[in-house]
Amino acid sequence: MKPWLKPFLAEAIGTFALVFIGAGAVIATQLPGGDFGLLGVAIAHGLVLAIAVSATMHISGGHINPAVTFGAWVGKVIDARTAINYIIAQLMGASFAALLLSRLYPLDAAAAVSLGTPMLADSITPLTGITIEAILTFFLVFTVFGTAIDERAPRLGGWAIGLVLTFDMIAGGALTGAAMNPARALGPAVAWGDWTNHLVYWAGPIIGGILAAGVYTRLLMPKAEEASVSADTGAAAFE
């Protein structure tokens, strides 16, 4: 197997899981027994992301999100070719998951929520939606850098990242659907054909991801000389 194919598959499978379980949970709210509401949907998204990131982190870095990939590219964690491969894999995985959902779930339940496609509340304008998605995604990508990319980070697997997704969805789900992920929005839109305010779910997450990467890498990530001084200081303590 070619070296690039393993991370490609990991990103596709991880994003498939996020969309199938996440959008599936949204559809399930329309079925008998599906009275778990926003909290249940948020928990489903958070748990599946935590598992998907933990399972793929050692293969691809566990991005599972074009906004995370854009952030990693801006932060010079990955190169442009890798970023493009990851985003293609994520969009493919998301689209395939949504197509399966459209075939497996009852049509009336899927239609009631446009197959789990994120939507703006009636009171939310596209600009406000972009701002909300950017803020929520900032927290998500900032946590990715702080717990998965930074070499000083505590090794928590994907659990901290999944928790951020959960509380972001609780806070913003009723306003924008709290996608924080262009692939999560694209998959159901491809399968169902509802592209209402779709640009919001690209612009907001990418802006938030880039801002988080810039803040973390420029202000919080140790520079080479700082790391050297820290290492020297640590070594001196044992002399």
Question: For the chain, what's the residue count?
Answer: 239
Look at residue 111 and tell me whether its pLDDT is greater than 60.
Answer: yes
- Least-confidence region, from 86-100, 149-163, 202-216: 149-163
The answer to whether residues 198 and 192 touch, using CB atoms and an 8 Å cutoff, is no
Look at residue 237 and tell me whether its pLDDT is greater than 80.
Answer: no
Please state, in angstroms and rounded to a whole number, the distance separating the CA atoms of residues 140 and 60.
18
Tell me the average pLDDT across 40-61. Answer: 97
pLDDT given at position 2? 77
Residue 154 CB neighbour total at 10 angstroms: 8
Confidence (pTM): 0.91
Percent of the chain's residues with pLDDT above 70: 93
Taking all residues of the chain, what is their mean pLDDT, rounded to a whole number? 92
Tell me the average pLDDT across 95-110. Answer: 97
